[in-house]
Amino acid sequence: MKCQFCNCPDSRVIDSRPTEEGTSIRRRRECVNCGRRFTTYEKVEMPQLLVIKKDNTRELFDPQKIRNGIIQACHKRPVSAADIERIVNSVEQMAYNSLQEEITTRQIGEMVMASLRQLDEVAYVRFASVYRQFTDIPTFMRELRHMLDENDRDK
């Protein structure tokens, strides 16, 4: 690894440990030339995953878009940042574990809604109202009735 201070191509690893999430390895390095220390992160390179949007265009999978949608749905709700990250990581893992090169926004949306429904019903309804594009009150009420019926069955 090239030293960021003197551009020497040689450094030695002093310490290695997994990050808190366990998704990468943090390495503390020391330059053999100038002796300065710096940190690098090693992460598994994920295969490219394309998302097929509603208009049939394709773009690279971006977990930040999922995160942003969940944050908006959870605005002023008792949902922690750790809970949001857990959902994002879970959806990302399921998407990559599908072993397909493409996934639809519908599949991603359903995964997010299933997780939000378990976590916070208000956040679920908020996300679903945008995702499913409720255009009128009767459509919204049907979804709420469906939720209430399922809650009654679970009791």
Tens digit of each residue's pLDDT (9 = 90 or more) over 102-135: 999 999 999 999 999 899 989 988 898 887 777 7
Q: Residue ranges of the domains in the chain?
A: 11-43, 50-154
Nearest to 127 by CA among 154, 155, 88: 88
Q: What is the pTM of this model?
A: 0.65
Residue 46 φ then ψ, to 5°: -85, 145
d(CA 143, CA 117): 12
What pLDDT is stored for residue 86 in this prediction?
93
What pLDDT is stored for residue 153 in this prediction?
76
What are 52's two structure tokens? 């097929």
Range 129-149 average pLDDT: 79
Angle between helical axes of 63-73 and 105-119 (0-180°, round to 10): 40
